Chain A
């Protein structure tokens, strides 16, 4: 009765009403349980378990937590019967603890079916989970609901009606909002497997919660509406769900209305095409024009799903104008969400009228967005706009999209330019990149010199791709200098990426190209007064030697590396050792023995311990000892 009373009041209240247990009392209760569990015959094998159980009561949260996490061990040791008769009541009784412990407990109980004796006894787990499902803390409650959903599948249909469904009902009519919120997530798991009378009750409970007094519960119900609709018979979807959907979609709180938009997708998928117009569309139209931007944002965000759910006809008649409005919305958030969907929306338009719809309805809006005042809108658009070229084909792309790409390539915001450049491959397939090259170059140059190193880094990563598409001549003429300039960037990450970039370029354009264009410049840096630049030479050699092959490595790179072994900066010297180790395998054995070995041996006697170390390492790896 004490427990029932506590359950009624909820755990938080129980905690506060509860008298603190004195240490002696606590010890007493634990030993009582221990002696009970360990048995009067002094069963020593249970001692470790007794310790774990003792720790369930420890003052230190961490110890309690550890013990809870080993709950399955305890249960396994006790056996199914004692787990049912002793451990579970004990847990149910000590449930008023730190949220962290409760979370662990809620999770554990979801995997407890076998430990209480299999599906036949799974209902024993319901009382503690029921209490956990009423806790104030959201994560605990959610975890308890998750576990309840899991074990509901392990109930037999009879047990589901005898044990599980009454629990759902109790939660659904709880005093405090937490239990009603939890109930919302449980209807759909038991509905398909109960008798029709119980089904009717469940529907009734769900209806009640959809018009609950507190917005928290209505939100929970709205977020489960789609899921619940899926398990209902079609007739009830039409008679029950639609009215609930309509009501929630016109709730006084926008936080409820926006969740109804999510449900709209599932509901529309369930209904036959001919019912959509009357049952769903009025609500959807209203949501797309809601006075709260949050709701409109949600519509924009779910637009592709909605489009698929309502089918081509309604898309043509309703969604196209709605999408146009969202693209022109007064809030940047909404416009950005809609801009993100432009490509997907166009792709999914019915083929017979796709081009016409895009050209007459969507493209004008897109044109406006290109010069939007908000950079996030432009950036969202830039990340998808290139995809339109494959849909519209070569001529339309050149005539209509190209000017937009060019405009975005000149945008003041680097993210916009970057998004365009990173999607160049889509355009390349349709019209070839050369159409863009005139504007591409200034954009790339500007990004290459952007003040933000992350922007520079991003553009470097697209270099190999661009090089491949633009061809070697264009590259040499326009981009080569950039690639070399990055090697002396003041940010290490850029220099590193630039080195890696060179390697990829050489892989693309071949060793001969490298020998003529890159290698001389890289080697030239070996005489730079800045030791960081001298080290970059070494890093480049590390990266390039393999791609350039033995000839270039031995004849051009090796002498430079060897010369640098006399550098006055120790960092350069030990990097010489590392480089020699790296390029060693590319060299022939003659060069190794006559040129590399003496230098490494000299470095191995260096005054600096790091130089010594790396020289010795190189000697042993190259087997020169």
Chain B
């Protein structure tokens, strides 16, 4: 093997090896430079990984291009499915390794890495494996002709993934891309490169031909930009900030008009009516909606609107629930909340907390660092907030929630929709008419009723408005990774 194999020991003593090279053409190779990746629980460097710039991006794209036209495009659908199922099997086999890497690199509790992230990856791969041989075009009745459509793969796709749910986001990109017959180059986040690199080993072991999946670490403004501008990349799928989403669309416009799908930020409203059947349940889901993953979810329910009749009760129950969660070592089984992913993110969230205080909101609980090592922030509640405060409008991406009181439904729906984002929303009520009227009115790609953040591989996920373009998961994702050709064979028409 290559010289980038690295032995790591997790804080709980678990040993895991990872190959820190760039995964191109089924080999681990050197990059242009190295990047250190830090354990956010301790602030200490875990290891260095190879990082790609334009030259290595070019190698990866060429490998993917050659693989597509060299055999992947004509590979039997059942064979693609077999490889994807094999990969899912290997992820299950090595789930502990991947989960430990994920928790070391990202800081999310080990229990969550196991039960949600690994489980989600396996589910994603198996779900889309099942679609490989079910990509249907249509036969369309037209006069004098046989007209039909074929849904073809696009070719070389690029997936640029974020640091908040690293391995899951990798699966969300490669699963539909592979099922529809594309090859792919994934650029992982330089903040959380390790789990993707373990996945790379499994991709090779599963038997994917060289070049079908390539995984490279790199900075957004170097490797990400090179991928977005590459003339042989036919589609780019991005999850991350709205600002970077814009840059990617601009890059596509200036180069080869590659197809672009974006899954961007959010400031999702969570609306709780006083006829909610069980307030404790609403509190449970609302707390999960914001504090899960230390608030680092694009779909976080970061604005909560509580109807005035139950407001005081809700605040007390929510406070109790928030304070009951243990913040600390993500390798402890009973930890609820780990650290923020990096020092930069930590500072950013702390700045927003200071801003909230300056803007005149009440910091009801939290509002400060937790502990003295690592990037931990106490779960924070702001009350007495006003709609025009920046903490009500801008995505904080941390364990900080803004809670407002409301009187009537028209007012709260207007406030909920008063945002340039549109990723998700939720409604808590026992009234069916209200549940359906309000979910119809909310301008968001996902609306949860009496729950929050329940995402699955078979239902679509994506944003309205500036939260993004396109849908991931479900049958809907297939159309993002295929292009349609209409074929019309003249069987009877004279000129």
Same complex origin of A and B: no
Q: Hey, which bits of chain A sit against chain B, CB under 8 A?
A: none
